[in-house]
Amino acid sequence: MSDELAHNVRKYRRAAGLSQEQLAHRANLSVGPIRRIEQGYDGVRMETLHAIARAVGVKTSDLMAAGAPEPVSHRDPNSLNLRELRIALTPAISLASTVAPVGQEPDLRRLRRMTHDNSVLYFEDSYKSVAADLPVLIRAANDAVAYYDSGEDQAKALVARSQALNLVGRYLTQIRQYDLAHAAARGAIEDAKAAGNSLVAGSGVGGMCWLLVRTERFDEAEDVAVATMDLVEPKITGATPDEYATWGGLAMEAAAAAVRNNRPQEAKAFRKAAGTAAKAIGTTHRNLLRHWSMFGPVTASMKELEDFMIAGDARSVVRKADEQEALQEKSWKRLGGPSTNDGNRYRLDLARAQVRTGDPTAAMDELTRLDQIAPEWFRHQSSAAITFEEVTKKRRTLTAEMREVGAHLGVFA
C-alpha cells in the first residue's frame, strides 16, 4: 500500500495547498511521519492516517488503496495453533458427493449451553480454553444443521450454529486472524437469515462490523450497520431490551466506523442513537447468546470516549472520565457495569489519554493493572504497545515492573 498511500497523501496535501510542514502542523504531527509516508515507507499507524485525513478534509478511506502484498513470516505460530479450528470452520470439499452421517439426534440445548459457556470464557479473557473448545463446538453445530432438514428444529439448529459462529468470528477478530474471522462472521449472518431470526442476524452483523473496522473497511462497516439498523429498529412502544440492545449495538458500530473515517457529524448522530437505546433500557442488558455483548448507559458512555481519542482530543477523554456519572464505578451498582472487554478497552483509552496530557505515571499504572487483570486480552492490543512506547519516551530508566509489561507486549522483541 506504500506507493498508493504516498501518492494519495501527496495529492490531497497539494489539493489543500499545504506544504509538508503545514500539513504536519494542521494534523498535530511532526513533519517526519508526513515525509516518510510520501517517500513510501511502511509501518504507518492508522492513528496517523486519521489525523492526516482530518487535516486535509477527506475520509480516511480516501487515503488508502491496495498495493502489492508484502511477504509474510513463515513462522506464524497460529498456523499450527489454529489448525483444528481452521479444519472445522473451512472443511475441504471435492466433486464427490458427501452425506453427513445421521447419528443420534443432536442435543440443541447442550449446544447452546456450550456456546454460552465459551462466550463467558471469552469475556473473561480465557482465550486458551475457548480455542480448545471451538473446533468441537463447530463440528457439533454442523452435525445439528445436517440432522434437521426442515421445520422448526432446523431453524433452531441454524440459530444455534449462528450463535456459535458469531463467537468464533469475534474470537478470531480479537486475535487478528481476519480471513478466518470473516468466514465465521459471514456464516453466522447467513444461518440466522435462513432461520428468519432478525435479532440474531443483527448480532452477527455487529460482529462483522467490528471485523470490518479492525481491517480499515470503514465505508462498508458503516453502510452495513446502518442498513441493518433500519431492519431491526425497535418499535416506539413495546420494544424488548434485546431489540434495543441489538439496535444500539449496531449504532455504536456505525459510530466507530464513521469517526475513524473522518465523519465526525455522522459519528455523533450514531452515538446519540446508541445513547437513546441505552436510556430506554436503563441498566446494562446482558444476553450473550441473543445480543452477544452487554449494552447499556455505561457501555454507551465508554464507547463515546473512544471517539474523542480517535479525534486526538485526549484532554476531553481525561475530563469526561472524571465528570460523567456513568463512568464512575460507584454508579455501576445502579446502572450495571460494562463487560470485562469494554471496561478494559476504556481503561486502555484512558491510559493513552493520560500519557498524551502529561501524566505518564497514571498511564503506566493503568497499563500495569490491565496486564495483571487481563493478560491474554492485553497482549493482543496494539494500542497498548503504542501507549507503552509513549510512556517510556518520557522516562530515563525503566523499573522492573515496566520491563515486565513491555516484554509481555513484545515491545522489546
pLDDT along the chain (413 residues), means of 10: 79 86 87 85 80 87 67 57 88 72 82 90 82 92 91 94 95 92 96 94 95 94 97 86 92 95 94 94 81 83 90 91 91 89 91 93 93 87 89 84 88 67
Statement: the pTM of the whole predicted model exceeds 0.75: yes
What pLDDT, on the 0 to 100 scale, is given for residue 51?
Answer: 87
Three-class DSSP category at 286: strand
What pLDDT, on the 0 to 100 scale, is given for residue 100?
Answer: 56
**Grid cell in block for residue 266:** 455522522
**Grid cell in block for residue 54:** 482530518
The amino acid at residue 5 is L
CA distance 318 to 108: 47
Residue with cell 495547498: 17
Decide: 184 and 90 in contact? Cβ < 8 Å: no
Three-class DSSP category at 45: coil
Largest CA distance in the chain: 71
> Is residue 181 classed exposed, middle or buried when 0-12, 13-18 and 19+ CB atoms within 10 A define those classes?
buried
> Is residue 95 classed exposed, middle or buried when 0-12, 13-18 and 19+ CB atoms within 10 A define those classes?
exposed
Residue with cell 493513552: 352
CA distance 278 to 237: 15
Please report which helix (H) or strand (E) contains residue 183, including its range. Answer: helix 178-195
Find, among 130, 46, 116, the residue nearest to 85 by Cα.
130
Q: What are phi and psi of 238, to 5 degrees?
A: 85, 10
